[in-house]
Amino acid sequence: MSKPKRLHPAAVILHIVIGIRNSLFFFILLFVTLFDDKLLYAFLAMLALLLLIIITSVLTWQRFTYRVEEDELRLEYGIIIRKKRFISKHRIQSIDLTQNILHRIFKLTKVEIETAGTGAEAEASLICVTLTEGEALRAELKSISSREQHENEIEEEAYLAQTITRKQLLLAGATSGSIGVLLAIAGFAFSEIERFIPSNFYDDAYRWIIGLGLLIMVLFIVGTLLLLWLLGIIGTMIKYWNFTITKVDEDIVITRGLLEKKQITIPLKRIQAVGYAESVIRQPFGYATVIAEIAGGSNEKGEDFSTVLFPIMKVEEVEAFLEKFLPMYVNKQNNMQSLPKRARKYYIIRMTIPALLLLGVVFFVFPHLSWIPLILLAVCVGLSLLQHKDAGYLINGQKLLIRYRNINKVTMVLHHKRIQAFNKKQNWFHRKENLARLKLSIIGKMGLGKHYTIKELDVTDVDDLSDWYSYRKKG
């Protein structure tokens, strides 16, 4: 594969679509600015901008070449300034194949290559090659033949693969909690288009709502929330459709997506920690999301920006799942060391102070709405009690299991060799009551640190953890 190759001609269309999307603000600005008395100029300006995008897209495709030579992927690109990029095979951490609707219609794929230094975006991206070429390029860069890769995938899929069921997919959507995100998006969208709404619209809408009556208003609100909930279910099902995790040699391969099919490769050596998160919606039903922290990041992010290894499963099934795919991260949760009772007040104080301040402001300014911060105060107290109850740790040889809760309950297993830093912190109040705060750091997304904190542990427990981390023996 030493001869330079161009991307598939369909890459021109993708570049045009990307160019229009990135220039959408300028199209709207031209249209709004010149709409009243200079409509012709507005259309001519937009046509010129569109023509510029098309020409740039064609030149970008024509000037982009790639080849594999001397154990390197060599890229050459640039319209005016010519750039060359060489990526050694030995630096490549993962090669992901992604197919959107256009890709799948024409049997194309997008190849994204990540290295140890990859940031928010892939180190190299071939936005449009044939599926056969993409698989051959991945095989070439992974230094295995296509036939061997195919045989390995079939063998591993038969013995080390797990696919989400339709029931699990529906449960994942129903308990995703995405209704809050949709409400936030709807609120932002409304604030942006508000300037274009006539002033008399609000008066007419108010009179219309009042005319509906209380029962109709309640049904309207419930119907809107139900619609947003259904949209959240649909969005989750589209994202995780046919989610399959497969162990292939020293890699974890994740395939998922309905409209956009993604195939993500995670080398086992990049995994820094593995665990599961139980959201406040899923925990009462005994379900959790299996997550991992990957050095350098991943394109498959979900729970608190961690990498999703499986969207939803019963908590009691997690251990068997890890035994199957990541046995080095199995850690039985017997006799976990919990927090002392004297630490509980710190959790309550931290959570309730903002609610108490809000209650004071509302009581003096809007006394008839004081019930709202009172409800918030009760929720904060309940959450603080759960945070204290759930936090803890367990040492098992070279593995450390930690559990904490912000809003969701998170359980993680870390290997000693993956922990980059250990931090013990005490304030004046902590020293008085023999408490301390523990902070552990590992390598996380985009090469940055990922931190785990357990607050108000007994100081002897933190010292025991310090001895374990430093290989000191008690004595």
Q: Residue range 79-97: average pLDDT?
A: 86
Q: Residue range 122-150: average pLDDT?
A: 75
Specify the higher pLDDT residue, 179 or 376. 376
The pLDDT score that the predictor gives to residue 399 is: 93
Q: Residue range 112-117: average pLDDT?
A: 76
Residues 230 and 262 in one domain: no
Q: Which helix (H) or strand (E) holds 302?
A: none
Residues 173 and 100 in one domain: no
Task: Confirm whether 157 is domain-assigned.
Answer: no
The whole model's pTM is what?
A: 0.77
The pLDDT score that the predictor gives to residue 361 is: 86
Residues 222 and 314 in one domain: no
Query: 3-state DSSP call for residue 80?
Result: coil
Tokens 């140890």 appear where?
116
* Number of domains the chain is built from: 4
Whether the predicted pLDDT of 153 surpasses 70: no
Q: Residue range 100-116: average pLDDT?
A: 85
Instruction: Please check whether residue 392 is in contact with residue 378, taking contact to mean a CB–CB distance below 8 angstroms.
Output: no
The closest alpha carbon to 130, from 107, 146, 149, belongs to 107
Query: 3-state DSSP call for residue 169?
Result: helix
The DSSP symbol for 304 reads G
Long-range contacts (CB closer than 8 Å, 24 or more residues apart) made by 370-379 = 377/352
Whether the predicted pLDDT of 299 surpasses 50: no
The pLDDT score that the predictor gives to residue 64 is: 94
Whether the predicted pLDDT of 192 surpasses 50: no
Residues 82 and 206 in one domain: no
Beta bridge partners of 307: 292, 301
Domain limit, last residue, from 240, 269, 303: 240
Whether the predicted pLDDT of 181 surpasses 80: no
Whether the predicted pLDDT of 450 surpasses 60: yes
pLDDT in tens, 252-295: 999 998 888 888 888 888 899 999 999 988 999 999 999 999 88
Instruction: Please check whether residue 413 is in contact with residue 274, taking contact to mean a CB–CB distance below 8 angstroms.
Output: yes
Q: Residue range 91-101: average pLDDT?
A: 84
Task: Confirm whether 160 is domain-assigned.
Answer: no
The pLDDT score that the predictor gives to residue 348 is: 95
Q: Residue range 362-381: average pLDDT?
A: 85
Percent of residues, the chain, with pLDDT higher than 90 = 42
Residues 385 and 395 in one domain: no
Whether the predicted pLDDT of 441 surpasses 60: yes
Specify the higher pLDDT residue, 400 or 188. 400
pLDDT in tens, 319-356: 999 999 999 998 877 788 999 999 999 999 999 998 88
Task: Confirm whether 163 is domain-assigned.
Answer: no
Residues 377 and 405 in one domain: no
Task: Confirm whether 184 is domain-assigned.
Answer: yes
Dump the DSSP string for 81-141. S-EEEEEEGGGEEEEEEEE-HHHHHTTEEEEEEEETT--SS-SEEEEEEEHHHHHHHHHHH
Percent of residues, the chain, with pLDDT higher than 70 = 81
Distance of CA 236 to the CA centre of its chain: 13
Whether the predicted pLDDT of 148 surpasses 50: no
Query: 3-state DSSP call for residue 454?
Result: strand
- Give the structural domain span for 382: 341-389
Whether the predicted pLDDT of 154 surpasses 60: no
Tokens 């068997």 appear where?
320
The pLDDT score that the predictor gives to residue 412 is: 95
Domain limit, last residue, from 200, 218, 240: 240
Residues 432 and 290 in one domain: yes
Dump the DSSP string for 335-372. S-EE--GGGHHHHHHHHHHHHHHHHHHHHHH-GGGTHH
Residues 54 and 96 in one domain: yes
Task: Confirm whether 159 is domain-assigned.
Answer: no
Residues 401 and 260 in one domain: yes
pLDDT in tens, 220-233: 778 877 887 888 88
The pLDDT score that the predictor gives to residue 35 is: 61
